Structure 1
Amino acid sequence: MTTKQICFADRCFNFAFGEHILESIEDYIPRDEFDRYIVISDSGVPDSIVHHAAEYFGKLAPVHILRFQGGEEYKTLSTVTDLQEQAIALGANRRTAIVAVGGGLTGNVAGVAAGMMFRGIALIHVPTTFLAASDSVLSIKQAVNLTSGKNLVGFYYPPRFVFADTRILSESPPRQVKAGMCELVKNMLILENDNLEFTEDDLNSTNVYSPKQLETFINFCISAKMSVLSEDIYEKKKGLIFEYGHTIGHAIELAEQGGITHGEAIAVGMIYAAKIANRMNLLSEDDVSAHYWLLNKIGALQDIPLKSDPDSIFHYLNHDNKRGYLKLDEDNLGMILLNGIGKPAVYNQSLLTPVRKTLIKEVIREGL
């Protein structure tokens, strides 16, 4: 079991992770800290996991469980409002804590709900996917979707606590674990990583790992993220590097309408970003091959059921949530690119590089 203090400037919270971590919840939260807990979870999270979490929070104060329909199409302000109305009807007040039990979808919906109620009540994350535990909860970004794009409405709001049970994460379907491993590989590609506690040989394409291995991977992702985000809490400067693969990846995820995981979409997005950088003389052929090597080590590029056409993907690209950071003409789009493994490309002191839309279309049409 490991506990890390995560700080975004002066906003700090404890992130505790390990096997059966919720059994130790009273070591972190005093009994009189909150008057009740509102557990929020989407319909894709198994009932057994939701009730397991509710059981331990119920030892501290009364617990209510609210569920909403899973799927990116339900990650909306309408869903948030409905949950807030239910929470108020259950007696939620300023001393109530919202507990997000689930993956990134639940974490964002619950995060927006908590940040808006009474102008902000306590948010607690209990990530149930390796992707959420290694990526989305390591941020204070809370956002929901509009019909035109992903994560276009939101704000910055930190949790009070994060509890990740690596036993639950290790028992997740391999495809879910693979989604998180894609983000781990991303961190290996974008940062210069010294003194890793694991090697490439520890990665496998079955995506079956022990709780202890996942604890090591989470620890790496925490170190990677906080090496940058502790000084860039809004992820608008150096923190933009963590959006690597996300420009095209998010567009693919939306175009596929739930057919692929976030991790799979980001894996494809990273390959496309690498190929674009190669054609812009930023990345060598060996660097592009390194992308394929690492992603194939975790089976990320195998059997991805891509069905959407390039025009559909490009429609969502034009609504990327990083628009406006650079002043660009209609022929270019800003992308996070690499200038070598572990070296972000820099354009006019920004990590966003203008890329011709014709080049992006060309690479997307070519495929993997």
Structure 2
Amino acid sequence: MDRWYWCGSSLTAGEVVCTTANGIRLYDGDKRTGYDDGHLTLTNHRLLWRHESQSSSLGLHLSLVVLVEDEAGGFTSSPKLLLHLAQPPHSKPAGPVAASSNSFIKLSFRQGGCSSFQQALQNAIGERDWEKVVIPSLPASHGKQSGGKTIHTGILGIERAIQAKQEETNQNISHAFEDLKNLMGLAKDMVFLSKSISNKIKEHSGEVSVDDTTRFRSYLLSLGIDDPVTRETYGSATQYHHHLAKEISQALEEPVKEVGGVMLLSEVYCRINRARGLQLLSPEDVMHACHLMKKFDLSLNLHTFESGVQVVQTAGLDQDKVVETTVETLKSHEVDGVSAGDLARECGMPLLLAQERLLQAERCAKAVRDESSEGLRFFPNLFFSRS
């Protein structure tokens, strides 16, 4: 409320009425004040609030309004406009409150008209008509005449400097996006070049070492997918998911083999989106595509454990061999047993996948569990091996 000041009801030079509203209550921050059921007038320079029992009005200059927000009304509350305000100038005329800890006020519209008044207020703030004339009633800034132009300082000068800075920032952002488009175009050329080099390596495999070939393939994978499958390319969702399944299988075949032939579906989702760059996939599209892998006999397929955990694994992965590998790890820790965390650290796999492997070994009667205060640990099933 310290931004309001006492003033007369007459308009200043160049000031015109934009709109009015009745039944307006003023708030200081979230605190209700005694200024209730007044008549609010919006001009192109100020907000004027006056009660019919008062001869003078309360004025608020629009140059102090930084942001306008609306607050919807409820069953027992009226719609409101929330006005964030800048600090008042030292030369501001006296008002109803000398100082306030709040940097915003609220206007409560008890008789409606909040939406139309907000639109008119935002238009008036955007026009900034008060900058076009000198306002003697509110000396917020001192002007110097030079060549018929008014040079503004103080609050108005700061606001204009901020506006100019914002316009410059917007231009810089626009140039940055243009540079990004050029970079994307160059990236496609780089991927095409890398593919041609990869083909040459395949044709002359005898002249290139295995380490060089492996390293170069890792470079290709980091470049991503040059022409990702999109919905716009294919007419139906079935065709889209079919080609998407092929893309995922081709892109992640080597990474899946490198982690032991099994990868959590959540990791598949993250890796394929990282490889596709800006053409991101939804979880539903990745799920549908992975369900089609086995149908089209691809190098990867989707597998669901009894607990519901889903993974993508290499086609033809021998589950019995996976169980035997897990059992071998259990036998090497026959005394203390193995927890899911131990298996994950030793085999370099996610914790969830390590737990599923231990449970799978238990379901095959190759492992037994021990639950204690130290947690859940698994041991090799010696009863099964001796029977």
Q: TM-score, normalised by structure 2?
A: 0.22
Larger radius of gyration: 2
Instruction: Report the TM-score, using the length of structure 1 for normalisation.
Output: 0.23
